Amino acid sequence: MGNETFTTSETNYFRSFNLETLETSEKLDTNKFFGTNICSAHPLTDAATGITYNFGATCLTGLKYHVVKIPGFRNQPTASSAKDLMKKSKILCSVPSSWTGMMSYFHSFGMTTNYLIFIEQPYVMNITKAVYSVIKGRGAYCFRDWLDWRPEYKNRFLVIEKETGKLLKIEFISEHAFFFLHFINCYEDNNQIVVDLSAYPNPTFLEDGMLLAKLREPCMRGEDCHEYAFASAQRFVLPLISTDDLAR
């Protein structure tokens, strides 16, 4: 943001660092600026407007996903730092979780010229487990232990207008459940949104294959390994239609 560089993760912190020395400096807490407990690890900046978007979620004040809109310096000429921009950020849209006591794990989202695309996937954070870990203290659970794979729920695609924050009324549900971390590409074409993802049939590789001991095994360093399902590029095409169109 501006002349400052930040590293992000799925926590609620943006950490500033020096590109030359990698020395870290200021840490910005999104919970203080716009109330989110966790955030996507991949904020996206609109090159045309300079506005940065991100998705966050709240657990303590209701299980909801939030679109965060962070203005750029061209939108806020009086701002002198990224911290000033964060203070002028706002929640553009809020969407409740589909499930009681659970909400989707998410790592990234998609963006086109006019829309933001969020996928609620059936790899869910079990809030009961999370609360229990807080009560018991650190060491009772790690973040991975809060997560449950519920493929019966499938994946729900949410489309939100960037300009207004309006959530399109129609929902898109996948035929089969899948797990993903990253969008490959998103774009608009002929009144449709094309979404390309790097998708897995399940999150097994993340739950077990990303452990340090596993990463040190020979099969994880380029040799044949069939223990975990590999990702594949998958394309989803979402027609930009309204419920009025469906009624005709």
3-state class (DSSP) for residue 104: strand
- pTM: predicted TM-score of the whole model, two decimal places: 0.86
Dist. CA 76–CA 88, nearest whole Å: 9
Helix residue ranges, H only, 102-228: 127-136, 204, 212-215
Neighbours of 97 (CB within 10 A): 20
pLDDT tens digit sequence for 79-97: 678 888 888 889 999 999 9
Taken in order 19, 21, 22, 27, the sign of the CA dihedral is negative
pLDDT tens digit sequence for 127-173: 887 777 767 766 556 777 789 999 999 999 999 999 999 999 888 99
Rounded average pLDDT per 10-residue block, the chain, 248 residues? 81 87 88 87 91 90 92 71 83 94 95 97 88 67 82 96 93 94 96 96 82 70 60 94 56
